[in-house]
Structure 1
Amino acid sequence: MLMNTHEARLDALRKELKARGLDGFVVPICDEHMSEYVGAYAQRLEWLTGFAGSAGAAVVLTDAAREPAAAMFTDGRYTIQVREQVDACFYAYESVPQTSPAQWLGAHVPTGAVIGYDAWLHPAHWVRAAESALAAKGASLVAVEGNPIDAVWPDQPAPSPAPALVHPDALAGESSEAKRAAVAEGLSARGLDACVITALDSIAWLLNIRGSDVVHTPVALSYVIARADGTADLFLAEEKVTADLRQHLGNAVSIRPRGDFVAGLEELGGRRVALDPNSAVAAIAQTLSRAGAQVVEERDPVVLPKAIKNPVEQQGHRDAQERDGAAVSRFLHWLAVEGPSGTITELSAVDRLLGFREACGDLRDTSFDTISGAGPHAALPHYRVTQDSNRTLAPNSVYLCDSGGQYPNGTTDITRTVWIGPDAPGAEVKDRFTRVLKGHIALDTALFPRGTAGSQLDVLARHALWQAGLDYAHGTGHGVGSFLAVHEGPQRIAKSTGGQPGTEQVLLPGMILSNEPGYYEAGQYGIRIENLVLVVERAVASGAQDFLGFETLTFVPIERRLVARELLTPGEIAWWNDYHARVRTLIAPQLEGEALAWLEAQCAPL
């Protein structure tokens, strides 16, 4: 019997594992930097299994006769997608967080088994959990020399050779020298000699560089060792280094080949070295420990200052949003005209939206894969359309589009849910949409004392839904970078679960977050309204000091046909009218003809 592609790849991996004396291997979606999005060379899980989601893992046991012999691990975002893309004949489907690869291994491996893992693709806490689970079964976990998938992937792409690019101080708002000095001061104050920075967006922010090595995130594959004297080593592939980069970084930053990174870590023997366990893979801590360094686990020192945008970054983001808002408005006008024809598909809508963004100038990339969900697909919060799943936008249905762009002065992220006519939407859809809108307005207009965490505000976005016995299963807001990662920590607005990072982070002026409550009726429709907001200082009537609020950054019309006006309070109607008046002011000068007329109609008072 002929094997299909993924069956053949699984068979090849098992032969490689057997040759290495391994009884199993763990395959995550990850790169050496714990990135959310990874380069093509690191898409090992997709190559092996066919799963194209952004979060997941697989465990493969060498003995194909065992039951089960392999398993796929995904969370609730990918329940449907994983079943469409991964063959149930070869993988059991497992749900996270109900279980995990470590727990599964502890339950399914034979006594005495030796399970391999790539220490450059897992954090140390995962290694500890897996070692504990396997030890209870009399099995062991061993780090491999060279990833076994790389050994059987004949046409594996090479890492991107694209040059690292200088991000001008005029856009960054602060020099790299000043940023490195602040990091150095913090290290000295805590008695640390150096810190190892592995998160690609942290490196990009600290050195004021960007790149094109990872889809959706303008970063360059690199590592940094920053020292308490203000100097730093940048480990970067030699073909990525330009004369402009050398001049930009100056003498205080030594540029070394990326392949020298392990040697650079070994040079830190006898030193106190800070390392973030949430962004550094296990191999780095293991190398430092073997070299005799004292590893101090603490948060990446770049994370918080990167999240607090300076005035230049704030204004750059406003400018990027204004340009992006015009592109999205043109798209929504096009959709209003062409959508009811029944000829538009999820994929053709994605292409058209990209075209409008490209036409507005200075688009460098999308900030994530556009979520283009028609009808029941809109009920999947993290749906990603493929050729196989592509659906036509049916007349008289809901369409949800969540998208964003990367511009040199800002990163955008916006969701609009629209009604594809020609008939009027039903009462239930309007009720749900309006309750989501009420939550969006409540969060947008919130006043809160300094020291408030994101988890304390989350209820505002859910209250109107809760009053009807409804809810949504995702967070309400995530941080956003400045021409960097669209999902940026440490801030977050979500229910406090005790285990989710960011929900207890205090919100500080300068932080940018999304405001995106939603509602999803499985198999029927989904609703989400998303704008980005900036945390700012606010004066309050009592005269009390240290109150904060949000400045709205995203300006694009919200679908008025889905609003049940009778559910809105006078204050909420005033918010709607004020918001759309601002949309008209900012976006109308960029439009003309029928698109301008459409915008004027959408922005009329409610």
Structure 2
Amino acid sequence: MFQRFDVTTRPDAAAPRVARLREWMEREGLDAFLVPRADRFQGEYVAPSDERLAWISGFTGSAGFAAILRERAAIFTDGRYTLQVAAQTDPATFETVSWPATKLADWLTEAMPNGGRVGFDPWLHTVTEIEGLSKTDGLEAVECDNGVDAIWTDRPPAPAEPMVVYPRELAGRAHSEKRAEIAEKLDGADAFLTTQPDAVCWLLNIRGADIPRTPVAHAMALLHSDATVDLICHPGQAETVADHLGPDVRVVAPDRLADLLSDLGPTGIDPATCPQAIHTLLQDPVRMDDPIALPKARKSPAEIAATREAHLRDATAMVRFLRWIDEERPHDATEIDVVTALEGFRRATNMLRDISFETIAGAGPNGAIVHYRVTTETNRPLGQDTLLLIDSGGQYEDGTTDITRTIPIGAPPEGAVADFTRVLQGMIAISHTRFPKGVAGAHLDALARAPLWAEHKDYDHGTGHGVGVYLGVHEGPARISRLSNIPLEPGMILSNEPGYYRTGAYGIRIENLIVVEQAEPLPGGDAREMFAFSTLTWVPIDRRLIDTSILSPAERTWLDDYHATVLERVGPRLDGEDLRWLKAACAPL
């Protein structure tokens, strides 16, 4: 439950595995080999059989890659994983590189000044990635078999779980309507191939169980201009949904993919997500943005109504958990005890299909590791006079939840109250902002950071990511980030999660999910289209960590109104000691 690999994530296992990989590289005539954390579907989360980066290095983060040379090796990852990669890898085997600040091509050029042959598995790298590498003087990008697969003798089998139908009343539209809508957007192409499992599942109103914590099937879809689809998957997976799919969706086995693509006219791909191997098979594909991505991100009224109910159900589990932390937890409780208890409260709803990602439960200094995952080796007692950061979520058939709360265990450590209050101010700023049509996440990201910036502080992750409905807890293309230029549109569900992390001491993050909606006109305002955020998450924010003297009157009003709404919407679902605790937690400032 807490660690999918017992042996493969040990740092001391890396050196002999890298040595075996280098022997394979020498036989293949390669000077370097790339090991991404990716599968052929290019999703964020991968099956155990595709955890190649974890197997070769020990690093289990959800973003990063390794470059292994004859004499050097490096892990590239971003600021979210700085502490994690240091803890999980052997510095004698892997150096760590800050990415994307340092580009792979630049690092390889410095590491191999005389050039060299860089091997890569074309199924595990996108067209965009390989084009960037191929343009670098002195480097020859070489498509090859996968060297990790060649030496990973006990690699788990690839999953092929049966698909299930996603109810039309929750999706809001039949898959025939979705197929027809997207087919009209092919811009001259005869077909479009998506390799993204969540896009396939959304398009066809199906779900799967091939990825831990994410209810998708390992499948690709070739959508034709006549709105028919070739569903590329193991045939046995689709038998359970054959009647639902109907005659306009044909099932094609993966080993027939090359034949299928060879008979096509102009076929679209999104080079940012399509594997290089597909580009090679198609030879001259039509390049376009994935036409499924934005319609999937713009949730239907039915999806929004369903996910609101899922969030209220999840809130009851969270309230019961928070009361347990405050009043019932054992004095020697550990992070694993916290993870187990929280999942238990969610399962007690009798509606939980799975948690939506591995729960982050970081006590004290572990909370400063942004994407910390507790293991038996790192498990820490909660202790006293510290903070506990809990980032968790649930997968319910009617919605996907993601919530972070930071809780004091005893007296808050020095500086924590001021830092928490600044983070709260940033979260409130996003929550009640209004913005005109055309504004993207990059325009809003600074609102969440401004209170911290004023104190010469910041955090090294985006402020918010997109979220699916009984799909991925992380969903593109929109997000609240200085890197995102995708305009926000009504129906998009996003997280709102500023934070602050003091290495060796504590981590703070406050996260609600929000949905973009049309803003009500204001007297005296322009006749322009304006949007606002509507909150989906209704769980108390710990008032013991708030310095009320820092808050403005408007911020105090927002928080009191938020807590009043929590009590109004969640209170009727609780009783007894849980309701008593909630009333106290939601009292006005």
Please give the range of the TM-score, normalised by the shorter of the 2 chains. Answer: over 0.9
SS at match of 1:565: coil
Change (3 A) 1:5 1:455: closer
Q: 1:337 aligns with which of 308, 327, 333?
A: 327
Q: Do structure 1's residue 233 and structure 2's residue 227 form an aligned pair? A: no
SS at match of 1:191: coil
Q: 2:164·2:208 contact (CA, 8 Å) conserved in 1?
A: yes
Which position in structure 1 is the counterpart of 2:55? 47
Q: 1:58·1:101 contact (CA, 8 Å) conserved in 2?
A: no
Taking the aligned partners of 2:159 and 2:567, their CA distance within structure 1 comes to: 42
Q: 2:81·2:370 contact (CA, 8 Å) conserved in 1?
A: no
Which position in structure 2 is the counterpart of 1:367? 356
Taking the aligned partners of 2:422 and 2:115, their CA distance within structure 1 comes to: 56
Which position in structure 1 is the counterpart of 2:188? 191
Judge which range, 545-554 or 468-477, deviates more: 468-477
Q: Do structure 1's residue 586 and structure 2's residue 580 form an aligned pair? A: no
SS at match of 1:179: helix
Change (3 A) 1:459 1:76: closer
Q: 2:435·2:531 contact (CA, 8 Å) conserved in 1?
A: yes
Change (3 A) 1:90 1:480: same
Q: 1:410 aligns with which of 387, 390, 399?
A: 399
Change (3 A) 1:464 1:148: closer
How far does residue 428 in structure 1 lie from its aligned partner after superposition? 2.7
Post-superposition CA distance 1:207-250 (Å, at most 9, x none): 111101011211100111101111110011022122x4111111
**Paired letter, 1:278:** A
How far does residue 117 in structure 1 lie from its aligned partner after superposition? 0.7
Judge which range, 590-599 or 204-213, deviates more: 590-599
SS at match of 2:560: helix
Which position in structure 2 is the counterpart of 1:479? 466
Which position in structure 2 is the counterpart of 1:168? 167
How far does residue 426 in structure 1 lie from its aligned partner after superposition? 5.7
Which position in structure 1 is the counterpart of 2:125? 122
SS at match of 2:352: coil
Which position in structure 2 is the counterpart of 1:8? 16
Which position in structure 2 is the counterpart of 1:450? 437
How far does residue 562 in structure 1 lie from its aligned partner after superposition? 0.7
- The unaligned stretches of length 5 or more in structure 2 are 1-10
Taking the aligned partners of 2:183 and 2:66, their CA distance within structure 1 comes to: 40
Post-superposition CA distance 1:465-516 (Å, at most 9, x none): 2333332222111111111111111211122xxxx3xx22111111111111
SS at match of 2:216: coil
Which position in structure 2 is the counterpart of 1:515? 496
Q: 1:400·1:415 contact (CA, 8 Å) conserved in 2?
A: yes
Q: What is the TM-score of this pair, normalised by structure 2?
A: 0.94
1:11-410 matched pairs, under 5 angstroms: 11-61=19-69, 63=70, 66=71, 68=72, 70-109=73-112, 111=114, 113-133=116-136, 136-137=137-138, 139-144=139-144, 146-187=145-186, 190-242=187-239, 244-268=240-264, 271-289=265-283, 294-338=284-328, 342-410=331-399
**Paired letter, 2:285:** V
Which position in structure 2 is the counterpart of 1:564? 547
- The unaligned stretches of length 5 or more in structure 1 are none
Q: 2:39·2:46 contact (CA, 8 Å) conserved in 1?
A: yes
Q: 1:313·1:482 contact (CA, 8 Å) conserved in 2?
A: yes
Q: 1:235·1:259 contact (CA, 8 Å) conserved in 2?
A: no
Q: 1:103·1:130 contact (CA, 8 Å) conserved in 2?
A: no
Taking the aligned partners of 1:417 and 1:30, their CA distance within structure 2 comes to: 31
Taking the aligned partners of 1:191 and 1:73, their CA distance within structure 2 comes to: 38
How far does residue 30 in structure 1 lie from its aligned partner after superposition? 0.4
Change (3 A) 1:44 1:452: same
SS at match of 1:306: helix
Taking the aligned partners of 2:66 and 2:175, their CA distance within structure 1 comes to: 40
Q: Do structure 1's residue 535 and structure 2's residue 516 form an aligned pair? A: yes
Change (3 A) 1:427 1:92: closer
Taking the aligned partners of 1:212 and 1:371, their CA distance within structure 2 comes to: 22
Q: 2:368·2:503 contact (CA, 8 Å) conserved in 1?
A: yes
Change (3 A) 1:459 1:59: closer
Give the CA RMSD over aligned residues: 1.8
How far does residue 338 in structure 1 lie from its aligned partner after superposition? 4.2
Post-superposition CA distance 1:126-164 (Å, at most 9, x none): 21222233xx33x522111x3222122111111112101
Which position in structure 2 is the counterpart of 1:602? 585
Q: 2:514·2:536 contact (CA, 8 Å) conserved in 1?
A: yes
**Paired letter, 1:541:** P
Q: 2:127·2:273 contact (CA, 8 Å) conserved in 1?
A: no
SS at match of 1:490: strand
Change (3 A) 1:460 1:141: closer
How far does residue 74 in structure 1 lie from its aligned partner after superposition? 1.9
Q: 1:342·1:395 contact (CA, 8 Å) conserved in 2?
A: no
Q: 1:433 aligns with which of 392, 398, 420?
A: 420
Change (3 A) 1:115 1:463: closer
Change (3 A) 1:41 1:446: same
Which position in structure 1 is the counterpart of 2:8? none
Taking the aligned partners of 1:432 and 1:49, their CA distance within structure 2 comes to: 34
Taking the aligned partners of 2:115 and 2:551, their CA distance within structure 1 comes to: 64
Post-superposition CA distance 1:166-211 (Å, at most 9, x none): 1111111101000000111112xx2211111111111110011110
Taking the aligned partners of 2:450 and 2:113, their CA distance within structure 1 comes to: 49
Taking the aligned partners of 1:227 and 1:297, their CA distance within structure 2 comes to: 15
Taking the aligned partners of 2:331 and 2:103, their CA distance within structure 1 comes to: 43
Q: 2:76·2:96 contact (CA, 8 Å) conserved in 1?
A: yes
Judge which range, 467-476 or 30-39, deviates more: 467-476
Taking the aligned partners of 2:455 and 2:148, their CA distance within structure 1 comes to: 50
Q: 1:12·1:152 contact (CA, 8 Å) conserved in 2?
A: yes
**Paired letter, 1:183:** I
Q: Percent same amino acid among aligned pairs?
A: 45
Judge which range, 433-442 or 477-486, deviates more: 433-442
Post-superposition CA distance 1:331-373 (Å, at most 9, x none): 111111245x641211211111111111112212221221111
Taking the aligned partners of 2:13 and 2:440, their CA distance within structure 1 comes to: 48
How far does residue 593 in structure 1 lie from its aligned partner after superposition? 2.4
Taking the aligned partners of 1:113 and 1:570, their CA distance within structure 2 comes to: 62
Change (3 A) 1:459 1:238: same
**Paired letter, 1:399:** L
SS at match of 2:184: helix
Q: 1:479·1:492 contact (CA, 8 Å) conserved in 2?
A: yes
Taking the aligned partners of 2:534 and 2:116, their CA distance within structure 1 comes to: 56
Q: 1:57·1:101 contact (CA, 8 Å) conserved in 2?
A: no
SS at match of 2:46: coil
Taking the aligned partners of 1:396 and 1:228, their CA distance within structure 2 comes to: 62
**Paired letter, 2:31:** D
Judge which range, 10-19 or 389-398, deviates more: 10-19
**Paired letter, 1:588:** G
Taking the aligned partners of 2:451 and 2:101, their CA distance within structure 1 comes to: 29
SS at match of 1:399: strand
Post-superposition CA distance 1:527-560 (Å, at most 9, x none): 1111011111122222544221111110001101
**Paired letter, 2:256:** D
